[in-house]
């Protein structure tokens, strides 16, 4: 293996640069949030989500950990994810009025603090790539609140519930790395992606078919997590090991 070959090192650096573009997406998303152009904000957050979803494949392909061992792609990912998955969505919920008053500020702070706990938790991922506890995907939570134009009281309840679930060791599947029901899960994920693009393109709130697809996807993925948790609890009740 020619780990010191300049071409390989350049390719590894290019992958890290590609990952880092997610931070630029976060900047433009924040600017859109201040302008109140919510569809544009979610378009930038969506682009950051795509970059986050495919950069790992590139990193493994060129073996960046061997070509640039001093530079941590994992740390880079965490920094960018905190901006695009957590900070900008929390800002948007305040700016758009889904979180209001003192309670809204407290809930926004809870989003930031609980997510720091999740990002710092070395046991936040299972051996099967599942997430232990609510995985701090506040960009997705915020998208649903916008897509269904939820009232302040319901938005506040959903945010509070997700904050609490951060500290509950419930397993949430990774939609791209799931093993059981993989084909169905990938199909649901593709359907969700198409619906999400349609909503951003056509504007909030979601239309009939796109809203229905978003609800189906949410019900399916949350149902998988709940089913896994019930199976785990039954196993523990019978004296077995947790899944």
Structural domain that includes position 27: 6-237
Q: Is the peptide bond before 205 cis (omega within 30 degrees of 0)?
A: yes
* CATH classification of the domain holding 17: 1.20.120
Taking the model in full, what pTM does it have? 0.90
| In a domain? residue 199 | yes
What are 41-80's pLDDT values in tens digits?
Answer: 999 999 999 999 888 888 888 888 888 888 888 899 999 9
Total number of domains in the chain: 1
| In a domain? residue 159 | yes
| In a domain? residue 191 | yes
Q: How far apart are CA 113 and CA 99, in angstroms?
A: 16
In this predicted structure, the answer to whether residue 243 has a pLDDT above a threshold of 60 is no
| In a domain? residue 1 | no
| In a domain? residue 81 | yes
3-state secondary structure of 82: helix
Query: In sequence order, which ranges of the chain are alpha helices (DSSP H)?
Result: 6-35, 38-62, 64-67, 73-81, 88-95, 101-120, 138-147, 152-165, 182-202, 208-237
> What number of other Cβ atoms are within 10 A of residue 172's Cβ?
21
Q: DSSP state, 176? A: T
Tokens matching residue 99: 């979180």
| In a domain? residue 243 | no
What are 14-35's pLDDT values in tens digits?
Answer: 888 899 999 999 999 999 999 9
């Amino acid at each position: 293996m020619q780990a010191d070959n300049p071409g390989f090192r350049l390719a590894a650096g290019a992958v890290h640069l590609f990952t880092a573009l997610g931070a630029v997406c976060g900047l433009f998303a924040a600017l859109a949030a201040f302008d109140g152009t919510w569809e544009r904000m979610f378009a930038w957050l969506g682009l950051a989500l795509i970059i986050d979803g495919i950069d790992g494949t590139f990193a493994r392909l060129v073996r960046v950990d061997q070509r640039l061992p001093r530079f941590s792609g994992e740390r880079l990912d965490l920094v960018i994810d905190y901006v695009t998955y957590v900070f900008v969505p929390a800002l948007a919920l305040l700016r758009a009025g889904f979180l209001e008053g003192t309670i809204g500020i407290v809930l926004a702070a809870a989003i930031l603090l609980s997510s720091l706990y999740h990002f710092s938790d070395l046991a936040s991922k299972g051996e099967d790539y599942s997430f232990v506890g609510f995985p701090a995907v506040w960009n997705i939570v915020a998208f649903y609140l916008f897509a269904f134009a939820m009232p302040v009281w319901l938005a506040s309840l959903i945010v509070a519930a997700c904050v609490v679930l951060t500290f509950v060791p419930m397993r949430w599947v990774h939609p791209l790395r799931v093993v059981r029901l993989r084909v169905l899960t990938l199909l649901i994920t593709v359907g969700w992606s198409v619906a999400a693009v349609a909503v951003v393109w056509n504007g909030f709130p979601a239309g009939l078919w796109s809203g229905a697809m978003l609800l189906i996807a949410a019900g399916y993925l949350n149902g998988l997590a709940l089913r896994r948790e019930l199976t785990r609890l039954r196993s523990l009740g019978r004296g077995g090991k947790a899944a």
